[in-house]
Structure 1
């Protein structure tokens, strides 16, 4: 991530920084100045770069870049400044502003070589707002959508590689949430409610680290309801896909204690779910 951000700044700034010496560093740096007088595009742009790289004043840098777009629209400086404002807002953890700036860039320059980067900044802004699994996961769901867009639209870029890594973590967070709720229902002996939660993990988040426990909990819940065939299938699928898992040992012992053994019913939704993904 750091290397990617640094690469963006270098790509958009080095040709312009060389021009700074022609007009010097302006006197306003370090002062509380909310107004920006009209100025040449290159001056405003380099002021933004100075605030970003030297002062680490990300919000002020973003405002400078926005001034380039306001005062000099439809120019190459304007295009670059839109992306740099999104980046500056992201670095300053001003995530809603980073999203808005990225969206504006994408709406105006959808075919730009830097469109992938704008999409990545936006998805990263959503990703960085993912809460812990104990909280509502609407933000995580939005992050997943945006990260999937990066991977789908720009599959041959380094951003897609990073997006896929983040997707794994985001999906794991939602799976953890579903598992926590499922275990809560189990404790309340609401086994049908628990099964519905564990089913989400098994059908939608099979690559998460929680799928093994989800299969074990399904075996527990089905056994508690007396639906032995589904419990056997859950244990069998767990053993087939994760034979060394401690959760399989527990599931095997549970089913065996009930006088049965792990046996897969190929018509079960559990079996079909794993065959559909190629894991079964």
Structure 2
């Protein structure tokens, strides 16, 4: 179906940089040509211009196949321009209008990815990480076996590592501030949360528990956590430190660190 559209010049006040400028000059084009022009702008990396064309397609032909495609193109253009706020908004709009469409997988994935790429270091607020985790889990749940779900699973592990790192940062702060109980709670969160148990922070969390428990005189708890650390991570530098610490307190663990076992073997079997 060939249709003509009228594009008028207007400026819209908004928080994003792509909206606080004049849009397109007035011109009439068939919707196919309008969409094609937006796509050409997209190929040239002119993200804001592309968005203008695709928005007009959506405005003039809501709920149509053209609108569906145009929203997807807006998501991509916003994302390429690092305009994550509008990319997320466009993704939500597509999901609301076309929830059962196969392309909804792309909208869910891009929404989660936009949150993921805004994750900051562990010393700051982790709202983006938490939102990314929710979105990525949704992708993995809704679209198992797809490339989107496979990539989402990888990113989920990365986000969990980030969130576990945040718990460790807070725990170390409490430990330095001589607040052992608060530190213990943070370290135990890393150890007890199944999602965090597979992260790179688990060995350190166990070691820190050994440190804190020894500092408050709970040697049995320190030994227990040291044993868990040695059983699961015998080659970890954190276990070597825990072994040394416990040995100095007269609580030598039964399992020596891997490096020390190797040295003992070399002593009885030279070479």
Structure 2: distance between partners of 1:37 and 1:86: 24
2:39 corresponds to which residue?
49
Other-structure match for 1:34: 23
Greater Cα shift, 34-43 or 146-155:
34-43
Q: How does 1:88-167 map to 2 (within 5 A)?
A: 88-167=77-156
Computing the radius of gyration from Cα coordinates, the structure with the larger value is 2
2:211 counterpart residue number: 220
Task: Show CA shifts across 1:135-157 (max 9, x none).
Answer: 11111111111111111111110
1:201 Cα offset (Å)? 1.4
Structure 1 gaps of 5+ residues are 1-31, 264-280
Q: Distance in 2 between matches of 1:63 and 1:237?
A: 59
1:217-256 equivalence runs, <5 A: 217-256=208-247
Cα distance in 1 between the residues matched to 2:126 and 2:62: 38
Change (3 A) 1:244 1:164: same
CA shift for structure 1 position 33:
5.3
Check if 1:209 corresponds to 2:200: yes
Q: What is the CA–CA distance in structure 2 between the aligned matches of 1:108 and 1:158, rounded to whole Å?
A: 23
Distance change (3 Å), C-alpha of 1:221 and 1:66: same
1:161 CA displacement: 1.1
Aligned to 1:189: 178
Task: Provide the rounded CA distance (Å) in 2 between the counterparts of 1:227 and 1:262.
Answer: 15
Match of 2:168 among 179, 183, 187: 179
1:38–1:122 Cα change, 3 Å: farther
Separation in 1 of the partners of 2:221 and 2:99?
A: 49
> Following the alignment from structure 1 to structure 2, what is the Cα–Cα distance between the partners of residues 59 and 262?
63
Task: Kindly report structure 1 stretches of 4+ aligned residues shifted beyond 6 Å.
Answer: none
Using the alignment, how far apart are the partners of 2:61 and 2:29 within structure 1? 9
Looking at structure 2, the residues matched to 80 and 43 of structure 1 have their Cα atoms a distance apart, in angstroms, of: 14
Instruction: Give the TM-score, by structure 1 length.
Output: 0.79
Q: 1-side partners of 2:207 and 2:28: how far apart?
A: 66
How many residues are matched? 233
User: Is the 1:126–1:142 Cα contact (8 Å) retained in structure 2?
Assistant: yes
CA positional deviation for 1:260:
2.0
